[in-house]
Structure 1
Amino acid sequence: MIVPQYGRTLSAEEWSPVIDALLEGQHFVLTTHENSDGDGLGSEVALARVLKAMGKEVAIVNPTEVPPNYQFLKKLYPITLFDKKSEEAIQELSLCDVVVLLDANLHDRMGSLWPHVSFAKELGALKIVCVDHHLEPDDFTDVMVCESYASSTGELVYGLIYALQERLGRELFTPEVAEALYVAVMTDTGSFRFPKTTPYVYQLAGDLVSKGADASEIYDRIYNSLTTSALKLLGAALSAITILDDGDISWLFISQDMIKATGSKLFDTDLIIRYLLSVPSVRVAVLIVEMQDGRTKASFRSRGRIYVNQFAKKYGGGGHMNAAGCLFQFSSDKAQMVLLEDLRLFLKNQID
């Protein structure tokens, strides 16, 4: 099989350590980060179907539930939610010899799975493989491909599958694999709007459509299937947005009271941050969400050369240059006080 030559791709040799691990392993658990998104979910579903077609035993086990607008992916491949009472998930983890982490490069992003994976790793019976596109990876895997040039993890998995086809000499793409990868790439490029949407990415998307992905149907399922509670939360949130510092900062705090009053859930907050950067003068958008367990989730978006991943890193978070986040282990009141003061200083230094 010929790898498409219409953009930057990793060579078969560069993919070789990942491919070797996939060929040598027999029982796989695929997972992604907490509060999963389209890129993580689409990438793991696509790779799961490919591994299954190769005769492997494959389970997808995630630390948090699948958001409603991505539930259709579970029809392409079963996704198990991990918790301490989930006997099925615990059994899958105990049996597997390879864990593949997709769309995350820090072990703590695996959430509740990490202690179990770490324990099995210490016993020497488990190999950890990571495929990701975020900055500043942690050193906790046996094999890692982390390429920040990529628009999405889906873009990398697409290249991996072509490299696998070249090694095996057989076709591995199916309409279902194409659909899952299209979800991954489309969502992490903001429907092909973000800066890393290169000509290669557009041609990649066209290739996936030619292989069976229905672009309009996928978009409709993801973006036109909001629940009533999510819409109520959106309405409440939009009225609470604050513009600060002569328009440089847009700021929104979502409390547990707001979430409960609208009957929404944590993952419903993810659709809101895009609106915070819609004011042309805004350089940095901040979304702060009070979590049920008392912790505080913060998400950042920025324009141009305002590298919010560096800001998030200060609090143990990370992400992309213009899209990042972190998790505070303390109350939202304290988080807001700390954040605003630090953000103003950070933004001043970035501009100066």
Structure 2
Amino acid sequence: MILPEFGRTLSGSDWSLLIDVLLDARHVVLTTHENSDGDGLGSEVALALVLSALGKEVTVFNPTPVPPNYRFLTESFPITHFDPKDEESLQELSLADVTVLLDANLRDRMGSLWPHVQFSKELGSMRLLCVDHHLEPDDFADLMVCESYASSTGELIYDLISAIGERQCRDLFTKEISQALYVAVMTDTGSFRFPKTSPYVYSLAGDLVAKGADAALVYDRIYNSLTPEALKLLGLALTSITILDDGVISWLFISRDMLKATGSKLFDTDLIVQYLLSVPSVQIAVLMVEMTDGRTKASFRSRGRVYVNQLAKKYGGGGHMNAAGCLFQFSSDRAQQVLLEDVRAFLKDPESFTY
């Protein structure tokens, strides 16, 4: 296959230590970040299917529910919303000898799972692995493969499964595994539009289709599955977008009242942010959502060398250079005021911006 234009692929030797741990494991828990997306979910399902085929007991526990447009993935492998108050969930997690965090490299992004994983890890009864492609990881895992060259975590899991297959002298890719990985790669590359979509990624996607992934079906299930409530929210949101500072900043705040009026949920806001960057003059797009617990979720998108992950980092968030996010731990009114000031300062002089 063609080597990636950006960075490199990982060889079997690069994956060797992580493969050793997975093959030695009896019970593996897979998880991803709060407010899961296609990359995290697709990577989880693909790896869960592989490990199950290798005779491992596998549980997928996520800190938040699966968004409706990704629930078709659970037809291939069940994904459970982890409830820290449920004794059965706690028991299941405590029995795992390995937990793998996918598509996140910050411990706090594990949400309600982190305190329990941390406890088992400190007892020495569990090893924590991490596979991710974001920038600036925390040092919290026993073993981490975090490669920011990759377009997606799905790209890394594709290489991991290939390496395991070489070790096992067998082809581990099935139609279901290929489709889950296609979901991961397609969504995190913006349907193969984003800058990290290297020649290798196109080749990888083609290989997944050749192995059974249905590209048209995947796109339709994810992007053509809006609920009536989400559609109402989209209409209300589009009329509320503000363009500031001579067209350089695109801004949208979605309040709890807007969610209530349309009957929509937090995950219904995920597809809205793409509209904020559709005006050519916009350099930074900001979507803020008032959450039911009083916190405010912020999502950033940008163009070119405006690296919004640096902006998100100030508030404990992170992400990609041109797509990032964070959570404000205070009121939405204050969050909007503070963030707008920071966005303007960041655009004025990104190099001197402090966080």
Q: 2:278, 2:265 → 1: CA distance? A: 24
The residue aligned with 1:9 is: 9
Q: 2:84, 2:167 → 1: CA distance? A: 39
Q: 2:293, 2:247 → 1: CA distance? A: 33
Q: 2:232, 2:351 → 1: CA distance? A: 36
Q: 1:99, 1:137 → 2: CA distance? A: 17
The answer to whether the aligner puts 1:191 opposite 2:191 as a matched pair is: yes
The residue aligned with 1:343 is: 343
Amino acid of the structure 1 residue aligned with 2:305: R
The residue aligned with 2:315 is: 315
The residue aligned with 2:305 is: 305
CA contact (8 A) 2:243 2:249 kept: yes
Q: 2:73, 2:92 → 1: CA distance? A: 20
The residue aligned with 1:26 is: 26
CA contact (8 A) 1:129 1:144 kept: yes
Q: 1:87, 1:170 → 2: CA distance? A: 38
SS at 2:144's partner residue? Answer: strand
For normalisation by structure 2, the TM-score amounts to 0.97
The residue aligned with 1:274 is: 274
**What are the residue-to-residue correspondences of 1:153-168 with 2, within 5 Å?**
153-168=153-168
Report how far residue 155 of structure 1 moved.
0.2
The answer to whether the aligner puts 1:54 opposite 2:27 as a matched pair is: no
Q: 1:62, 1:91 → 2: CA distance? A: 15
Report how far residue 9 of structure 1 moved.
1.2
Residues 95-152 of structure 1 deviation map (CA, whole Å, 9 limit, x = unaligned): 1000000000000000000011011111111100000000000000011000000000
SS at 1:306's partner residue? Answer: coil
Residues 230-283 of structure 1 deviation map (CA, whole Å, 9 limit, x = unaligned): 101100000000000000000000000000110110011111000000000000
The answer to whether the aligner puts 1:103 opposite 2:117 as a matched pair is: no
The residue aligned with 1:125 is: 125
SS at 2:270's partner residue? Answer: helix
Amino acid of the structure 2 residue aligned with 1:131: V
The residue aligned with 2:151 is: 151
Divergent runs of 4+, >6 A: none
Q: 1:107, 1:60 → 2: CA distance? A: 17
Q: 1:88, 1:165 → 2: CA distance? A: 33
CA contact (8 A) 1:6 1:203 kept: no
Amino acid of the structure 2 residue aligned with 1:265: K
CA contact (8 A) 1:232 1:262 kept: yes
Q: 2:91, 2:72 → 1: CA distance? A: 25
**What are the residue-to-residue correspondences of 1:257-268 with 2, within 5 Å?**
257-268=257-268
Q: 2:123, 2:28 → 1: CA distance? A: 17
The residue aligned with 2:212 is: 212
For normalisation by structure 1, the TM-score amounts to 0.98
Judged with a 3 Å threshold, the aligned counterparts in structure 2 of structure 1 residues 351 and 20 are, in CA distance, closer, same or farther, namely closer
Report how far residue 21 of structure 1 moved.
1.0
Report how far residue 88 of structure 1 moved.
3.6
Name the % identity: 76
Q: 2:56, 2:174 → 1: CA distance? A: 17
Report how far residue 92 of structure 1 moved.
1.7
Q: 2:133, 2:3 → 1: CA distance? A: 19
SS at 1:14's partner residue? Answer: coil
Amino acid of the structure 1 residue aligned with 2:58: V
CA contact (8 A) 2:251 2:276 kept: yes
CA contact (8 A) 1:100 1:129 kept: yes
Report how far residue 171 of structure 1 moved.
1.4
Q: 1:206, 1:349 → 2: CA distance? A: 41
Q: 1:43, 1:119 → 2: CA distance? A: 25
Q: 2:35, 2:284 → 1: CA distance? A: 22
